[in-house]
Amino acid sequence: MDEIRNEVRECLFYLADVAKLKPGAVVVLGCSTSEVAGGRIGKNSVPELGDVLAEAFISACRERGIEPAFQCCEHLNRALVMEQQTLDRLRLTQVNVMPVPKAGGSTGAAAYKRFEHPAMAMSIQADAAIDVGDTLVGMHIRPVAVPLRMDGKEAKVGRAHVVMAYSRFPNIGGERAQYPSK
C-alpha cells in the first residue's frame, strides 16, 4: 500500500511540475482499483484500495495547493466527486447522487467519504487529469489537452497503466500572431 501511495504522489507531483499547475488548479483522478490490483476494469472493485488511492491523491493535492476531483464510473455517467467549495467556485452543475463501490467506483466512493463537504458535479473542464487504469478521463480536461508521459519510465500505479494530461491555452490568430513566452 505504501508503494501505491508513493506512485500516486509521484504522478501528481510530476504532472504539477511539468504543467506548471498553480495553486487552485483542479486535477481529476480517474482510477480503476480493479486495474491497480491486476484485474480487469469494472470487474473486481477493491474498496480498501480505493480508500488508499483517495487518501494519497487528496494528500498530494493538498501539499501542492491543488484541488482534487475524482471521476466516477459509467454507472454514474462519469460524474465527479469534489469538495463543495470547488464545485461552487467553478459554478458547476451539481447532481444528487452518492457514489458506492458498485455504482461510482471504489476510489470515488472513498473520496466522497474523505471530503469534509463532498459534492457531485455533472461535468468539469479541469486543468489536468491522471488516468489510472484507462478510465477515459480526457473528457474532463479543458481544451487544449496535452498528453504527458513520465521521463524514462512507464507510469504505473500498482499494476495499472497511467496516462496524464494537462491543458494549455489555445493558440489563436494567423501567421502574424505572436504569443507570449511562458
* pLDDT values of the chain reduced to their tens digit, one per residue, 182 residues: 899 999 999 999 999 999 999 999 999 999 999 998 888 887 888 889 999 999 999 999 999 999 999 999 888 889 999 999 999 999 999 999 999 998 999 999 999 999 999 999 999 999 999 999 989 999 999 999 999 988 777 788 988 989 999 999 888 887 788 888 76
The sign of the dihedral angle between the CA atoms of 88, 25, 127, 176 is positive
For cell 473528457, what's the residue? 139
Partnered with residue 163 across adjacent β-strands are: 131
**Confidence (pTM):** 0.91
DSSP single-letter state for residue 65? T
- 87 neighbors 125 (Cβ within 8 angstroms): no
Burial status of residue 38 (CB atoms within 10 A of its CB: 0-12, 13-18, 19 or more): exposed
CB 116 within 8 A of CB 67: no
List of domains in the chain? 2-167 (3.40.50.10360)
Contact yes or no for 14/115 (Cβ under 8 A): no
Cell of 51: 480508500
